[in-house]
């Protein structure tokens, strides 16, 4: 009898064409063939590593948000000389928080690749999994940029296992460099925010802008009027307070959401101090209006918005709020009967 011998075909995880694509972007052929013949992470392991990366990312983003919440922004501006020492209130359009978020994303690459580098086998398997996905999902142009840029910076004479283990290290250093650049950019944006902030001082309002070389100082005698109001947005779920000082040349300064240099014990302490200055100089008052858009000219004076504020304040703080925002007793009676 003739004996039939069945020859099994070695299992491959990327095609020969994919191997050639990896070689073309800088990977040694021996290492590319290992990527072809070696199984990457199992679906369960892939899910686990993805979850770990997500946890790291969310933790860093939460940390950046928390840092913004606890950071004594106004005091740092004063300490670094970015605003006048006698500043009481600062209104700033912040750019640096955007940099912090990108920094958190970049730092995620540092930590996740750092974990992979704890074990050579883990680093090698991580590299194989990533490269198998990249070569199957991306175009040749994308591969030349990434991971091609990294592959060309790894010693091609290394043993294939060592070469692949070096790939997460290359990713680690790239992520670290990017994170460093973003941290420096965040510092630059922080300084830019401080220099561009609008401030209230004893001599008047210092109007700042991110695209203005220096602040324009408007004395209290030059402030034309003050407008206050409250309106709802986001389907009526978000309240927006308005306390605006109107200056010559259609310039204005919004202080309802300004940060105080003084540690307030109660809400609206610094805004109340600003309002006292406004009253001392007998600056005319009017209800705030929408400056543009479909509601241009309409009053930003919504009873529902004021009621949302009322629910957050004590009776004493509500009285102070009414005085600052010019809510008369009769109006209050009508709104909250």
**CB-based contacts of 246-253 (< 8 A; 24+ apart in sequence):** 247/205, 247/207, 247/218, 247/222, 247/223, 248/218, 248/222, 248/224, 251/207, 251/216, 251/218, 253/91, 253/198, 253/200, 253/205, 253/207
Which of 165, 196, 227 corresponds to the end of one domain? Answer: 196
Instruction: Say whether both 63 and 119 belong to one domain.
Output: yes
Instruction: Say whether both 141 and 252 belong to one domain.
Output: no
Q: Say whether pLDDT at 56 is over 80.
A: yes
Average pLDDT, integer, range 38-59: 93
Query: Parallel, antiparallel, or unpaired for β 225-233 and 238-247?
Result: antiparallel
Q: What is the mean pLDDT of the chain?
A: 89
Q: Are 223 and 245 in contact (CB under 8 A)?
A: yes
Query: Cα–Cα distance between 205 and 209 in angstroms, integer?
Result: 13
Q: pLDDT tens digits, residue range 187-220?
A: 999 999 999 999 999 899 999 998 888 899 999 9
Q: Domain limits at 165? A: 16-70+93-196
pTM score, two decimals?
Answer: 0.82
Instruction: Say whether both 190 and 248 belong to one domain.
Output: no
77 falls within a domain = no
Which of 137, 161, 196 corresponds to the end of one domain? Answer: 196
317 falls within a domain = yes
Instruction: Say whether both 176 and 54 belong to one domain.
Output: yes
Instruction: Say whether both 147 and 286 belong to one domain.
Output: no
Confidence of residue 186 (pLDDT cuts 50, 70, 90): very high
The domain tally of the chain equals: 2
* C-beta atoms surrounding 178 within 10 Å: 17
Instruction: Say whether both 159 and 259 belong to one domain.
Output: no
Instruction: Say whether both 189 and 223 belong to one domain.
Output: no
Average pLDDT, integer, range 272-277: 91
Instruction: Say whether both 136 and 242 belong to one domain.
Output: no
Q: Say whether pLDDT at 165 is over 50.
A: yes
- The predicted structure's pLDDT at residue 319: 92
Give the containing element (helix H, strand E) for 101.
helix 96-116
Which letter does DSSP use for residue 248 in this model?
G
* C-beta atoms surrounding 262 within 10 Å: 13
304 falls within a domain = yes
167 falls within a domain = yes
Query: Cα–Cα distance between 185 and 169 in angstroms, integer?
Result: 24
207 falls within a domain = no
205 falls within a domain = no
176 falls within a domain = yes
- 202 burial (CB, 10 Å; 0-12 / 13-18 / 19+) is exposed
2 falls within a domain = no
- The predicted structure's pLDDT at residue 337: 47
């Amino acid at each position: 009898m003739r004996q039939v011998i069945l020859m099994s075909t070695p299992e491959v995880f990327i095609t020969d064409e994919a191997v050639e694509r990896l070689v073309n972007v800088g990977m040694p052929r021996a290492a590319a063939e290992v990527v072809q013949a070696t199984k990457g992470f199992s679906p369960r392991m892939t899910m686990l590593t993805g979850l770990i990366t997500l946890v790291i990312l969310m933790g860093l983003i939460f940390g950046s948000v928390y840092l913004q919440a606890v950071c004594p922004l106004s005091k740092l501006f004063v300490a670094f000389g970015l605003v006048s020492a006698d500043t009481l209130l600062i209104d700033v359009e912040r750019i640096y928080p955007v940099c912090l978020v990108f920094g958190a994303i970049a730092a995620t690459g540092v930590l996740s690749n750092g974990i992979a580098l704890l074990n050579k086998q883990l680093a090698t398997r991580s590299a194989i999994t990533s490269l198998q996905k990249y070569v199957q999902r991306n175009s040749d142009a994308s591969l030349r940029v990434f991971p091609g840029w990294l592959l060309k910076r790894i010693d091609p004479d290394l043993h294939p296992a060592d070469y692949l283990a070096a790939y997460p290290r290359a990713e680690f250093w790239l992520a670290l460099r990017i994170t460093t650049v973003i941290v420096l950019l965040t510092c630059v944006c922080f300084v830019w925010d401080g220099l561009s902030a609008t401030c209230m001082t004893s001599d008047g309002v210092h109007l700042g802008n991110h695209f203005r070389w220096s602040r324009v100082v408007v004395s209290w005698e030059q402030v034309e009027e003050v407008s206050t109001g409250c309106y709802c947005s986001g389907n009526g779920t978000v309240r927006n307070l308005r306390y605006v000082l109107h200056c010559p040349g259609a310039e204005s300064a919004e202080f309802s959401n300004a940060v105080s240099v003084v540690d307030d014990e109660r809400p609206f302490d610094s805004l109340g101090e600003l309002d006292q200055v406004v009253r001392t100089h007998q600056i005319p008052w009017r209800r705030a209006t929408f400056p543009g858009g479909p509601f241009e000219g309409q009053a930003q004076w919504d009873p529902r918005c004021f009621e949302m504020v009322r629910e957050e304040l004590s009776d004493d703080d509500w009285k102070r709020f009414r005085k600052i925002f010019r809510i008369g007793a009769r109006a209050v009676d009508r709104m909250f009967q």
